[in-house]
Chain A
């Protein structure tokens, strides 16, 4: 394909997505973190990542996601949309899953962050990682670290009684039914469509726990 052709198709994609996006603004590029040498101010922040204390000196604009990927080189956590719309950047902070792309690193002083690298290792997989392998809970694998962090946190949320949209009775304890798992995982998009297998992997882990 010629360069010119690519330009045109790319532009028309951007135009149509700007008009149709319900969750507006996917695909708009924004400022990448400045190289450290250009940083206008060196803001200090420290938090624990996968059990290890880390001290940073950062531009205030740097997100938790970029601090993990670009500063600690923990590239397991992925950047999909950078706008809270896909869940690829999901990490667990103080026991709760969040989108690391919509959080400034500076907001996390003293926090405990767990990324996919902290859940398990190739030699010693976390049960959720093993279940994803067993059930083929992925195809390309790009969304997978976020899916697994989210899935681990979802089972904990069910255990703690956090309610969901599909729960029939708000005052009863939720259970890990297929409908519950799917609803609670809706913040993690998978372009390969591995959703059914992801829900089965989660059900395996949930049952093993009981």
Chain B
């Protein structure tokens, strides 16, 4: 691990200023992704601003009947909240499908959104990777790509966003609240938060340097039946091959987003009109532009089958 300096900020604006004012500085929340990557020298921050004292660890009701989730609320606390379990079941389900009990106790809402890809070549510092080292090439495209993206990728990078929580937040139309070094707030719809890789795969999200996430807000509850289905290589403690977050209403209409298939949670609102016609009708348009590799072509039919299982589960509930 490279050497760094360390401080604990007291207010959100102070934290944002501390990171914006020093090239190479980063926020530190739970540390479960950043410290892992620092040990491998994939991340080499020169200064860490620990945000644990910012008092952003509460879940509050909003005036619109939704919930405001502080950036530092742990994954365990969020999934355990009675309002989340009752009104936003897809979110609680997605969180408990991810990582392990130990990790969820430390992982924060903001840190989870900003976790980096699990592409094996991103982790292997001997290999070219445009996300880790811009311009070095992409070892995954001609390499081992079983885990990687089938849609929305570029000729520079075919990595996925590996997380589960963000897929549920996408289906719930959450908003990411931030503050910058000047103390100015900004609200970013979750649909615009993560980026596609394009020609700049080293930039995962649309956050500006030094911009601090303060909260994630959920609109008022949608009702319906909430399902999160995650297909993986073992029954627990593994990243998704394909995952589906869905909220299905009693008349068969609904919303759906896919994880494990793209550089961001994959949702196309227009495709959802076909929900009452069944899974294949939805995925035919959702994955119309899919360009899978030889290794991960299985993900496209798997996405249809997983959605079919989700619809069946939703109808049975």
Contacts and interface: CB of A to CB of B under 8 A. Distances in A.
Interface string B69-106: 00000001001101001100100110011011111011
A148 B225 CA distance: 37
B93 A170 contact: yes
B123 interface: yes
A84 B123 contact: no
Instruction: Determine the main DSSP class of A at the interface with B.
Output: loop
B28 interface: yes
Interface stretch (B3-11, B57-65, B203-211, B271-279): B3-11
B40 A102 contact: no
A43 B118 contact: no
Interface in A100-158: 102-104, 106-107, 109, 150, 153-154, 157
Interface string B103-135: 101100000000000111011101000000000
Contact of B102 (A19, A40, A90, A109): A90
B23 to A, nearest CB: 19
B50 A22 contact: no
Interface stretch (B172-180, B232-240, B250-258, B299-307): B232-240
Contacts of A22: 118, 147, 233, 238-239
Given A90-B102, A96-B76, A99-B102, A30 B35 contact: no
B144 interface: yes
A186 B237 contact: yes
A87 B106 CA distance: 13
A97 B101 contact: yes
A187 B80 contact: no
Q: Which range contains the number of A residues in contact with the other chain? A: 35 or more
Given A22-B118, A102-B32, A162-B76, A83 B101 contact: no
A153 B76 CA distance: 13
Interface in A165-200: 165, 167, 170-171, 182-188
A171 B85 contact: yes
A13 interface: no
Contact of A184 (B35, B39, B101): B101
Nearest to B89: A170
B56 to A, nearest CB: 16
A25 B40 CA distance: 8
A28 interface: yes
B36 A102 contact: yes
23 contacts: A21-B120, A22-B238, A24-B123, A40-B3, A83-B36, A84-B32, A84-B102, A99-B102, A104-B6, A107-B28, A107-B31, A107-B52, A150-B102, A157-B101, A164-B96, A165-B236, A170-B85, A170-B86, A170-B93, A171-B85, A186-B235, A186-B236, A187-B237
Q: 10 closest A-B pairs (Cβ-Cβ)?
A: A187-B100, A186-B236, A24-B123, A30-B39, A186-B237, A96-B105, A170-B85, A25-B123, A165-B96, A60-B6
